[in-house]
Chains A and B, each alone.
Chain A
Amino acid sequence: MTPMPRTAQELARRIDQTNLNPQATAEEIIHFTETAIKYDFLTISVMPGWIPLINKTFPNSPIIIDPAIGFPLGTVTTEQKVRETLWVLNHLPSNAEIDMVMNIPMLKSRQYKQVIDDISRVVSAAKGHTVKVIIEAPILNPDEIIIASLLCQKAGAHFVKTSTGFNHFRGWRPSTPEDVQLIRSAVGDQMQIKIAGGIKTLAQALDALDAGADRIGTAFGIQIMDEYHRFNS
């Protein structure tokens, strides 16, 4: 578990700034990336289709890109998740992290071996790059959250990530610090946890970090940082 951030920079380096808006334009993605670099966020999370544009526009940027794989449903085939991962790494050989969505119907079907296979094949394709697995905790019951987290661990993933933030799923709700605590109780300190889906304010971000989250995925990173600076000015 990562210690609480003590400075603005430490907070920014815990944020995956996110734009997965399907209506985003190229201009918006360029502006989004530019701002994320300015704010010194650790990563930007975008759909894979934007990678060539970001590469071309920001050729020497140190910012890490973590594209969403099998997003947001997670029900594409394992082969497709592997293809997407290989494509991403072909375009981002050094500065990529992978955020993949777990196959939730497989989890709910208790096909645990298949779930592990689905994740571990992406981990293997990622060749050492950080892999975060989105378990969509908001639509799971507590037992399923624990099992899903353990399956991520077993499959060799680096992070358990709470949610896609895709709020069209039946029964979806924002992620909570309690989700983080439950996941932490399952995986201990051996894995990192990313909370995403519903973190929009500094207070929510700090609560999540306090609960044990190592990383925050949010489209509201700028607002969170601006709030931080207001409180500390």
Chain B
Amino acid sequence: MKLAGNEFSKRFFLSWIDPHISDLELEKRLTKHLSAAPYLAGIAVNNHQVRLAAKIIQGSELMVVGTVAYPLGGLPIELKCAQIQELSDQGADQIDIVMGIESILAWNENAIRDEINAIMKVNTEARLCLIPNLDGLDVSSQIRLAGLIAQTQKLILRTTTGYGLTTSLETIQNLRNDLGSELEILVSGGCETPVAALDFITAGANGLYIDDVDSFIHLFLTLTRFQEHMEEK
């Protein structure tokens, strides 16, 4: 598979959900990373900082990402829906929601569908992204669950929260083989190097949560230059 530089644009998400990040620190980081906007799709921030982040990056193409029931998922559905609405009202462009793991582990499909349907009913223009912590599940459950999310033709899949769980390349390959290209898949956990990022993108990931964008950008710029050079030859 040939990957051109522009194929990396808007692929990367940074997560700054961190109790150490003060408002001042957030402002500094956001201002610095606006220059990486061609490559960055979005930045996840502490929920109480969503409004501030939205204000700072207003006019840029960067998305502000808020999170719901993050990272443990143990909230009742009505509280999750209220939180989605609130974050949307505060300017979140994307909201990542941790699914209730108990119904997934027990494979209670009615409960899973109830959660998905309730989330679909929230009145928001934000992109809604479900986190089922896929890599804690067996392959068959992974595919069934991703299939339910794909059926909505709206919701996005984010593989894990990134806390403790990682995503394997095999998971992405399995999902793409079974579901085709319809479902948007964001990989979180397990993408620690630019080479791993290339592998995930090649396997069919639409986006990746990473820790530091600088080294990734450097690799992709180099790759683009290399490919241009080869084409000229």
Contacts and interface: CB of A to CB of B under 8 A. Distances in A.
Contacts of A203: none
Contact of A83 (B79, B90, B101, B163): B79
B83 A76 contact: yes
Contact of B48 (A48, A77, A108): A77
A105 interface: yes
Interface string A35-60: 00000000000111110100000000
Given A49-B100, A73-B19, A84 B79 contact: yes
B56 to A, nearest CB: 15
Interface stretch (B31-39, B57-65, B69-77): B69-77
B138 interface: no
Interface string A8-50: 0000000000001011111000000000000000000011111
Interface residues of B, number: 34
Interface of B, helix, strand, loop or mixed by DSSP: loop
Interface string A75-107: 111111001100100000000000000011110
B19 A26 contact: no
Contacts of A112: none
Nearest to B46: A75
Interface residues of A, number: 38
B89 to A, nearest CB: 10
Contacts of B24: 109
A123 to B, nearest CB: 18
A74 interface: yes
Contacts of B46: 73, 75, 105
A83 B21 CA distance: 24
Identify which of A49, A71, A104, A168 gathers the most chain B CB atoms within 10 Å of its CB: A49
Contact of A48 (B49, B75, B90, B105): B75
Contacts of A168: 163-164
Contacts of B164: 168
Identify which of B18, B70, B102 gathers the most chain A CB atoms within 10 Å of its CB: B102
Given A106-B48, A139-B19, A170-B20, A71 B86 contact: no
A214 interface: no
A76 B18 CA distance: 12
A196 B46 CA distance: 23
A73 B17 contact: yes
Interface in B69-127: 70-76, 78-79, 82-83, 86, 90, 100-102, 105-106
Contacts of B105: 23, 25
B7 interface: no
B72 A71 contact: yes
B102 A24 contact: yes
B48 A49 contact: no
A111 B23 CA distance: 10
Given A168-B164, A169-B19, A83 B82 contact: yes
Nearest to A106: B48
Contacts of B151: none
B136 interface: yes
Contacts of B22: 105, 108-109
Given A75-B47, A77-B47, A77-B48, A48 B79 contact: yes
Contacts of A197: none
A22 B131 CA distance: 13
A105 B102 contact: no
A75 B17 contact: yes
Contact of A87 (B19, B20, B76, B86): B76
A85 to B, nearest CB: 11
A49 B74 contact: yes
23 contacts: A20-B74, A24-B102, A25-B102, A47-B72, A47-B75, A48-B76, A49-B76, A49-B100, A72-B72, A75-B17, A75-B46, A75-B47, A75-B48, A76-B47, A76-B48, A77-B86, A79-B86, A83-B83, A105-B18, A105-B20, A105-B21, A105-B49, A108-B22
